[in-house]
Amino acid sequence: MTRGVGGHSPANVQKFLKGVSYPASKDDLLRQARDNEAPDEIIRTIEQFDSDEYGGPQDVMKAYGDIQ
């Protein structure tokens, strides 16, 4: 899928994390993404994040950038 067009863009990752309360664990992010019916591609992306704790959306985007 083309980055920025499909489900794997940074904005779409955040879209599927709508409603998460920060600070959040990686498990919290995964749970919220599943609750928001994120596609498997987004779930796999979050599963690759290195950190177990995220202070806010900026930390999530940094983790996203680190695996891209």
| Token representation of residue 48 | 């690759």
From CA 65, how far away is CA 39, in angstroms rounded?
19
21 within some domain: yes
Per-residue model confidence as pLDDT tens digits over 30-49: 999 999 999 999 999 999 99
57 within some domain: yes
5 within some domain: no
Residue 5 pLDDT > 50: no
20 within some domain: yes
38 within some domain: yes
Count: domains in the chain: 1
Residue 20 pLDDT > 60: yes
Q: How confident is the model at residue 10 (pLDDT cuts 50, 70, 90)?
A: confident
Q: What range does the domain containing 33 cover?
A: 10-67
Q: In angstroms, how far apart are the furthest CA atoms of the chain?
A: 30
From CA 1, how far away is CA 20, in angstroms rounded?
26
3 within some domain: no
pTM higher than 0.75 for the full model? Answer: yes
Q: How confident is the model at residue 2 (pLDDT cuts 50, 70, 90)?
A: very low
